[in-house]
Amino acid sequence: MTRGGPILHTGAMGTVPDAVAPMLAVDGKLPDDGRHGYEWKWDGFRGCARVADTGDARITSRSGSDHTHRYPELLDVFAPALGGHAAVLDGEVVAVNAAGRPEFELMQRRAMHEPTAKLRAEVPVVYFAFDLLRIGAESLLDRPYEQRRELLAELVRPADGRLVVPPWYSGADIGPDQLLATAAQHGIEGVVAKRLDAPYLPGTRSPLWTKRALTQTREVVVGGWRTGAGRRAGTLGALLLGGYDDDGTLVYVGDVGTGFTDDALDHLRDVLAPLARPRCPFGTEVPRDRARGAHWVEPDLVGEVVFRRVTPDRRLRHTSWRGLRPDRAPGEVGVPEPTGAA
């Protein structure tokens, strides 16, 4: 296939296409050079939507797990929007608040509970499609970003509010600073810059995409927990956190003891209990005052924290819990780089 070539609308009848590992952005200052397009950074769970020409659909997480069962209300939304075409979309599953804006805390309610009819009514989810990776048997991965975005708008015709093709902006029309200011004003998580001529590089974190979040967040692996005091005596007080270095060692990176709702504490107690293990899973030293009385767990859970800075010894400081990330795999979580002095 060559860029700009014809789009084929053929493929095996009724076959759900294979998942495509997501392309990832690097953190940094957003480029302002006229060679980039800009998108909003949505505060949800990344999902690859795979749709057969029959309308049968699957949603795959960033870690490659099938999360279709988590979002049953989305399964019939793709067929009418795609007009009978098989396709693979890259996008984000988000939960929207009363103002129609994505809200991560609402996504946590969906992550912690079975998607009953009552929960689906209280916490509806929407699929935001921001890239088109395949149509029928035709891969679009080598097409430039700008062209894929144009094809996405041309092909996908959402029939209702459960599927959205969010806007993108040309650097020739608006600068990243203006977009960041708008994001801050409206409570949007941030902005992503994408090179207009960039192909889609599956499973690659590439400088062709640059992201800037307005809040510093970090994925972490849960390796243990400590009992709380006061109102939380006898239950969870703090989680012990880690990330994997280049040698595959789970490195202790700090703990988090704030930001938990009562619902989150109950859910964490339930999911941590069967993961109990007798020995510390960290391959590096855990400070004595943190390890004393700790309950160790298998490092199978990924969570997300807000933090203020990373110390020179690569410890997260001033952390607050955001929630579990069932769409992430522990092996994806690295060790943070320092951002300030101790």
Q: Name the residues annotated as catalytic.
A: 41
Residue 235 CB contacts under 8 Å (≥ 6 apart), including other chains: 227, 228, 265, 269
| Most distant CA pair in the chain, distance | 66
Q: How far apart are CA 275 and CA 221, in angstroms?
A: 13
- First-to-last alpha carbon distance for the chain, in angstroms, is 53
Q: How far apart are CA 338 and CA 342, in angstroms?
A: 9
Q: How far apart are CA 87 and CA 138, in angstroms?
A: 9
Residue 260 CB contacts under 8 Å (≥ 6 apart), including other chains: 236, 268, 321
Residue type, 315: R
Angle, CA of 176, 180 and 184, to the nearest 5°: 170
With left for phi above 0 and alpha for psi between -120 and 50, is residue 195 left, alpha or beta?
beta
Could you tell me which of 38, 5, 21 has the C-alpha nearest to residue 190?
A: 38
Q: Is 24 exposed, middle or buried (0-12, 13-18, 19+ CB in 10 A)?
A: middle
